[in-house]
Chains A and B, each alone.
Chain A
Amino acid sequence: MSVQPIDRYVERIAPDVQTAVMENSITATQKRHDALFGDYEDPDKIRRIAGAIKQHTVEHLDRYLPQAEEKLKANGVKVHWASDGEEANRIVFEIMRSKKATKVVKSKSMVSEETELGHYLEERGMECVETDLGEYIVQIDNDHPSHIVKPIIHKNRQDVARSFEREGLGEYNDDPEVITHRARKHLRGKYMEADVGITGANFVSAESGRMLLITNEGNSRFCLAPTKVHIAMVGIEKLVPKDRDLSVMLNLLARSATGQRLTVYTEFISGPKSAAQPDGPEEMHLIFLDNRRTQVLESDCREILRCIRCGACMNVCPVYRQASGFAYRSVYPGPLGAVLSPLLASKFADYADLPKASSLCGACNEVCPVDIPIPDLLLRLRDKAKVEGIKSPGTPPMGMWATMASKPVLWKTALSAGKMMDFFPKSMIPVPAFQAWYKKKDLPEWHGKRFRSWMANRPNPKKNDQPEASEK
């Protein structure tokens, strides 16, 4: 039976992983809701402001990118540009070679996941250590993150304890506190002996050239305390026009991602360390990375470039909750990934199934801190696949349905035959899509009424003197 790639993944997912993803996502969605609605009367108003700021930024990148570059340079930052991941990785490698550096500590960054920087450096003899706890575990397991905020949402404490035991970080112990403190101890050694700290950036202010790093663990601080060189890799869409805009973004980002008012550490970095400071990088580089973002800008889905990577859309998504992150087969999972991955991919067709993996319920748009109309973008991408004649294996054939639904006589006949469904063994229906659906659900008994006749004969609520009947 032919099924779509995302469904094929869901069939193989372990039940405990699915439960973990589901529970964690529900909790995160609830925390987000409590944090936003607890503090603001109308959070939607703030989301709309944030969306407007980012949409304006995206549509004025030709102004803000040169402006940011000028400010960064004036602040003593060396600015580089990379059209693709290969070039960005090469720049990092060249900087390291010129400094005779061999050891890197890396703070979590989604763009460097895109460029697979860690592997690139390791293949060339450099040591590159991920320092975010989740990302470190992903690295020692030679795995991939499955959520942009909670990278190991797919692993439980026993998995992690076994990995730590295997890596020689102590005897088996699955207490999360013990695991965390072992990582703390082990990674301090790595920070202290590293030459270079690599980070991403959550925002760059075009007005001041400040870049922002936002973490809870403090690993980005540690990447920039004992090291001598700081390299930041930043997507070209990460700008905001002014410092004041950060007040909107910071308040929304933390609440949307983890339900915090502010993330523990918000770092504003605008250059190498100050003269009197004994610790920290004496040299700072910032690489602006395109990696097909200009292609997204050119498409009719440029709204997705507003994204500030909070993860709220995946937490709330009924498809993500069932399928988990790996089903999206790329760096960005969930509704965000369903839009961004096909657009960032070298071949759109490879990910053309993802925009179809949505019920278009609209929850992702409702929680998005920058109000991205994700369901609309998914529809545009479905249309793009249709226009480009991309076949996606496993998509149920709709030809018969289309014929039936467009011919009233056929439609009525089919409906009057509906009662037969109660007697027909449903496991015999030769439609793969129906069978996939039927595995988890059942059909109710046929009621036999036609909607139109029910509609015409229904009791009129206006004549009814029961006020609660009209209330929701």
Chain B
Amino acid sequence: MSTHRDVILGKVKKTLEALPKRAEYPDYDTEAVITIPEDADLWEHFKTAMQAVNGKVYDTLVELKKWMIENEYLSGYCDPDLLDVFSRELSPEIKLETTYDRDRIDTYQFGITRASGAIAESGTIILKDKDTSSRLGSLTPWVHITALRPDEVYRDIPTALDQLGDDPNIIWVTGPSKTADIEGILIEGVHGPGEQICLRLDS
């Protein structure tokens, strides 16, 4: 009995072998798709690009805290490895929990997790499964705060693709979750975060 696999691959093979000539893989340079200027400052460019897609970038915890207090984001999830850094500045006004409880997903106003990198060209945050302490913690709260060191910013998309590594789940995040399904009107915060934040870590 031939399997579906054999049938499909058999048809593909038979058809393609009958072609007199097949298209070759094109010779191209990925430089052709890069839009970032050569002399760009990576952090500054990243910041501008992320702001252009309605993300927010904070250079210090003091600025981030001010924004959180103003908007009354006072309780949320925090990656245990980042607790020291964040609680030093945010506590006691802002409450940080280091466990994510699936039974009360709507009680976390924000989630703080580690970014694995970023792309200056597109203002993209890179989340890898191995560096993200909880997929749900980075996804379900209205506000997602990622922490990132400036030396972790890749210049462009081809470079970032080249450095994907062996992580089984890598997410490139370019701005807050959004939709334009109803009458083409842009609404932010559909299933993912309505606020996408990046905090610069300096050590």
Q: Which A residues have a C-beta under 8 Å from some C-beta of B?
A: 20, 23-24, 27, 39-40, 45-46, 49, 52-53, 55-56, 58-62, 65-66, 75-76, 80-83, 87, 131-134, 137, 150-152, 155-157, 160, 176-177, 179-181, 183-184, 187-188, 191-192, 208, 210, 216-219, 221-222, 224-226, 236, 241, 243-244, 246-248, 250-251, 258, 260-274, 276-280, 288, 290, 294, 297-298
Contact in complex: B181, A137 (CB < 8 Å) = yes
Interface: B132 (CB within 8 A):
yes
What are 24 A-B residue pairs whose CB atoms fall within 8 Å in the complex? A20-B183, A56-B22, A62-B13, A66-B9, A133-B179, A137-B181, A157-B183, A180-B179, A187-B191, A188-B105, A221-B139, A221-B171, A244-B161, A251-B33, A264-B177, A265-B172, A266-B124, A269-B169, A274-B169, A276-B130, A277-B130, A278-B134, A278-B135, A288-B8
Please give, as numbers and ranges, the residues of chain B lying within 8 Å of A53 by CB-CB distance: 25-26, 28
Return chain B residues, CB-CB under 8 Å to A218.
Answer: 139, 177, 190-193
Could you tell me if B162 and A244 are in contact, using CB atoms closer than 8 angstroms?
A: yes
Closest A residue by C-beta to B193: A218
Which of A87, A210, A261, A277 meets B4, CB within 8 Å?
A87
Given contacts A152-B182, A217-B177, whether A82 and B23 have CB atoms under 8 Å apart is no
A49 B130 Cβ-Cβ under 8 A: no
Contact B25 A56 (CB under 8 A): yes
| Residues A192 and B105 in contact in the complex (CB < 8 Å), given A218-B191, A236-B12, A271-B168 | yes
State whether B169 touches A59 (Cβ < 8 A): no
Nearest residue (CB) in B for A150 is: B181
Interchain residue pairs A-B with the least CB separation, the first 6: A218-B192, A52-B26, A134-B181, A279-B135, A81-B5, A217-B190
Asked if B168 contacts A264 (CB within 8 A), the reply is no
Contacts of B25 in A (CB 8 A): 52-53, 56, 241
Q: Is the CB of A273 within 8 A of B12?
A: no
Contact A247 B168 (CB under 8 A): no
- Measured CA separation A310–B32 after assembly (Å): 21
| Pair B183/A176 contact, Cβ less than 8 Å | yes
In the complex, the answer to whether A62 meets B12 with C-beta atoms within 8 Å is yes
Q: Is the CB of A176 within 8 A of B175?
A: no
Q: In the bound complex, do residue B30 and residue A247 qualify as a contact, i.e. CB atoms below 8 Å apart?
A: yes
CA distance A415 to B102 in the complex (A): 79
List 7 extra interface pairs beyond A222-B140, A247-B161, CB under 8 A.
A24-B184, A216-B178, A218-B190, A277-B134, A279-B134, A294-B12, A297-B11
With a CB–CB cut-off of 8 A, which chain B residues contact A236? 8, 12
Check: B90 CB closer than 8 A to any chain A CB: no
Q: Do residues A133 and B129 form an inter-chain contact, with CB atoms below 8 A?
A: no
Quick one: CB contact mask for B91-124 with A, threshold 8 Å, 1 for yes? 0000000001010011000000000000000101
Assuming the A-B contacts A226-B102, A261-B122, are A49 and B32 also in contact, with contact meaning beta carbons closer than 8 angstroms in the complex? Answer: yes
Query: Chain B residues with Cβ under 8 A from A270's Cβ?
Result: 166-169
Q: Which residues of the partner chain B approach A183 to less than 8 Å between Cβ atoms?
A: 190
Query: A59 contacts B106, CB within 8 Å?
Result: no
List residues of chain A with CB within 8 A of the CB of B172: 262, 265-268
Contact call B35/A268, Cβ cutoff below 8 A:
no
Partner of B162, one of A75, A160, A243, A250: A243
- Residues 146-203 of B at the A interface (beta carbon under 8 Å): 157-158, 161-162, 164, 166-185, 187, 189-193
Q: Please, which residue of chain B has its CB at the minimum distance from the CB of A290? A: B8
A83–B30 Cα gap in the complex (Å)? 35
> Is B19 an interface position by the 8 A CB rule?
yes
Residue of A52, A87, A271 near B23 (CB, 8 A) is A52
Give the Cβ gap from B78 to chain A, nearest Cβ, in Å. Answer: 15
Task: Check A56 against B181 for contact (C-beta < 8 Å).
Answer: no
Q: Is B1 an interface residue (CB 8 A)?
A: no
- B3 sits at the interface (CB 8 A): yes
Closest chain B residue to A42 by CB distance?
A: B32
- Complex formed: what's the CA distance from A295 to B103 in Å? 49
Q: Is the CB of B12 within 8 A of A65?
A: yes
The answer to whether A264 and B175 have CB atoms under 8 Å apart is yes
Which of B22, B33, B134, B168 meets A46, CB within 8 Å?
B33
Residues of chain B contacted by A279 (CB below 8 angstroms): 134-136
CA distance in complex: A123, B153 (Å): 49
Q: Contact between B158 and A244 (Cβ–Cβ < 8 Å)?
A: yes
User: What are the residues of chain B within 8 A of A132 when measuring CB–CB?
Assistant: 181
Contact of A180 among B24, B182, B184 (CB under 8 A): B182
A-chain residues with CB within 8 Å of residue B180 when the two chains form the complex: 150, 216, 258
The answer, among A40, A52, A152, A264, for a CB contact under 8 Å with B176, is: A264
Is the pair B130, A83 in contact by a Cβ cutoff of 8 Å? no
Give CA–CA (A318, B70) in the complex, Å.
Answer: 50
Instruction: From B15, B24, B135, B181, give the contact of A298 (CB < 8 A).
Output: B15
Bound-state CA distance A155–B185 (Å) is 13
Alpha-carbon distance between A152 and B181 when the two chains are bound, in angstroms? 7
* Chain B 62-79 interface residues, beta-carbon cutoff 8 Å to A: none
Known: A20-B183, A216-B179. A265 touches B136 (CB 8 A): no
> Which residue of chain A has its CB nearest to the CB of B22?
A59
Q: Which residue of B lies closest to A38 (CB)?
A: B35
If A180-B190, A218-B190 touch, whether A225 touches B174 (CB-CB below 8 Å) is no
Is A280 within 8 A of B169, CB to CB?
yes
Complex contacts, B168 vs chain A, CB 8 Å: 75-76, 269-274
Contacts of A274 in B (CB 8 A): 129-130, 167-169
What residues of chain A lie closer than 8 Å to B5, measured between beta carbons? 81
CB contacts (< 8 Å) of B193 on chain A: these are: 218
Known A-B contacts A53-B25, A268-B164; A248 and B30 likewise in contact (beta carbons under 8 Å): yes
Assess whether B16 is in contact with A226, with CB atoms less than 8 Å apart: no
Question: B12 to chain A: which residues have CB within 8 Å?
Answer: 61-62, 65, 236, 294, 297
The answer for the CA separation of A36 and B189 in the assembled complex, in Å, is: 26
**Nearest CB in chain A: distance from B24 CB, A:** 6
A221 with B191, Cβ < 8 A, contacts A176-B183, A251-B33, A274-B167 known: yes
